[in-house]
Amino acid sequence: MALQTRATTIPNRPQPPRRLIKFLFSALGNRYFLYTLSVVMFLAFWDLAAVKKVLGNFLPRPIEVLSQLLSLNTEPLASKTLFEHLWASIHRVLIGWAIGVSIAVPLGIFMGLNPYVRAIVKPVFDLLKPMPPISWISLSILWFGLGEESKVFIIAIGSFVPCILNSYNGIRLIDPALYDAARMMGANRRQEIIEVGFFASAPAIFAGLQISLSIAWSCVLAAELVGSRSGMGFIIILGMNQSSPALIIAGMVVIAITACLISVLMDRLEKMVCPWKRELPQ
């Protein structure tokens, strides 16, 4: 026979209104609830401000931005759809970044390994370092015109600086005890450099690649703003020229999403390439 107990007292349940208040308070403590609430309130304020014309005709409603985004997908703007413009920008970034990185990383490694190379290269590099890559735009346009080459050049210059810095520091700051351990196990100089130098500096070099990729994305936009016929920068400048803020904001949204995707992709790659890197506490 199952043991059955009967409640001898009726438990004191809080009244419905108080339960609701308790629930609301606990919800307010929940982080994700706050996030959603914040986003919803932000969109609501935006819509309200747009409708009430707070900034004059300068603020489009969120719906307008969304419809602009969708229409960009289907109707070509200056004979290219949204994805074609996006690809034009990404294409330039990839080429310029690859060029910059393929020069910067070996040079940085050489600088770290050989003090003579460092003494020759570093002072010139330190002179050129404070000049932001965007300031090279004018010079680049003077040299290469308004075509693809000038943009790729800027992107290469922008990717160059953080890569070389990280590669150099990555090699320089390797724990010398690791070299000792390798030598004690019978590695010759070549094996030492490959086993210890390469792997121990890989996380730093990869971090340099990540930073330079986001700088490259920023550079391509700046270059396209100055003069271009395609690309995401072109889209937002067109929006400005056509007094169509919905177009501008739509372009900015796509730019933001792309930047997010790039950084997520690089994070995943890093976990694959350097699985031994310890996770910093969040």
Partner 1 sequence: MLEEGEGVCPPLKPLSDIRYRLLIKIYRTAYDFFGEMAMMAKENTRGRLLKFIPFISVAAFLISWQLIVQLGVVPKMLLAAPLDVLRLFIDKLTQPHPDGALLYVHVLVSLEEAILGYFLALAIGIPLGLLMGWFHTIEGFARPIFEMIRPIPAVAWIPLTIFWFGIGLSGKVFIIWLSGIVPCVINSFVGVTLTNPTSVQMAKTYGASKWRIFCTICIPSALPMVFGALQMALAACWTTLVAAELIAANTGLGFLITMGRRLTMPDMVVLGMILVGLTGFIIGVIIDAVEKKLLAGIRR
Partner 2 sequence: MKNAQVKIEFRNVSKTFIQKETQKVHVLNNINLSVYENEFLVILGPGQSGKTTLLRIVGGLESPTTGEVALDGREITAPGPDRSMVFQTYSLFPWRTVLGNVEAGLRFKGMAKQQRRQIAKKYIELVGLNGFETAFPHQLSGGMKQRVGIARAYANKPVVLLLDEPFGQLDAQTRMLMEKEIIRIWEEEKGTVVFVTNNIDEAIYLGDRIVILEGKLPGRISGEYKVNLPRPREHTDIEFLKLRKKIFNSTELIL
Query: From partner 1, partner 2, none, which one binds at residue 249 (CB under 5 to 8 Å depending on kind)?
Result: partner 1
Given 122, 172, 183, 229, the residue binding partner 2 (CB under 8 A): 183
Q: Closest approach of Cβ 123 to partner 2, in Å?
A: 23
The answer for residues whose C-beta is within 8 angstroms of residue 103's C-beta and 6 or more apart is 156, 160
Question: Is the distance from CB of 209 to CB of 117 less than 8 angstroms?
Answer: no
Q: Closest approach of Cβ 239 to partner 1, in Å?
A: 6
Query: From partner 1, partner 2, none, which one binds at residue 278 (CB under 5 to 8 Å depending on kind)?
Result: partner 2
Q: Any idea what DSSP says for residue 193?
A: I
Question: Is the distance from CB of 233 to CB of 180 less than 8 angstroms?
Answer: no
Residue 274 CA to residue 203 CA, distance in Å, equals 6
Q: In which residue are the tokens 């003077």 written?
A: 142
Q: In which residue are the tokens 């290219």 written?
A: 80
Nearest to 112 by CA among 166, 163, 172: 172
Residue 160 CA to residue 111 CA, distance in Å, equals 14
Query: Which CB, 58 or 199, lies closer to partner 1?
Result: 58
Residue 21 CA to residue 33 CA, distance in Å, equals 15
Q: Closest approach of Cβ 40 to partner 1, in Å?
A: 10
Residue 43 CA to residue 210 CA, distance in Å, equals 31
Query: Which CB, 29 or 186, lies closer to partner 2?
Result: 186
Nearest to 171 by CA among 190, 196, 191, 207: 196
Residue type (1 letter), 159:
S
Q: Closest approach of Cβ 2 to partner 2, in Å?
A: 46
Instruction: Write the interaction track for partner 2 spanning residues 200-239; mark x where CB under 8 A is met and - where it is not.
Output: x-x-------------------------------------
Instruction: Write the interaction track for partner 1 spanning residues 124-163; mark x where CB under 8 A is met and - where it is not.
Output: x--xxxxxxxxxxxxx-xxx--------------------
Is residue 60 a contact point for partner 1 (CB under 8 A)? no
Is residue 55 a contact point for partner 1 (CB under 8 A)? yes
Residue 266 CA to residue 149 CA, distance in Å, equals 26
Residue 155 CA to residue 144 CA, distance in Å, equals 14
136 to 175, contacts with partner 2 by CB under 8 A? Answer: 175
Is residue 275 a contact point for partner 2 (CB under 8 A)? yes
Query: Which CB, 100 or 251, lies closer to partner 1?
Result: 251
Is residue 130 a contact point for partner 2 (CB under 8 A)? no
250 to 279, contacts with partner 1 by CB under 8 A? Answer: 251-252, 255-257, 259-260, 263
Q: In which residue are the tokens 């570093």 written?
A: 122
Sign of CA pseudo-dihedral 266, 270, 271, 272: positive
Given 191, 260, 268, 271, the residue binding partner 2 (CB under 8 A): 191
Q: Summarize as ranges the residues that interact with partner 1 (CB under 8 A).
A: 28-29, 31, 33-35, 37-39, 41-42, 55, 58, 115-116, 119-124, 127-139, 141-143, 214, 217-218, 221-222, 225-226, 232-233, 236-237, 239-240, 243, 245, 248-249, 251-252, 255-257, 259-260, 263, 281-282
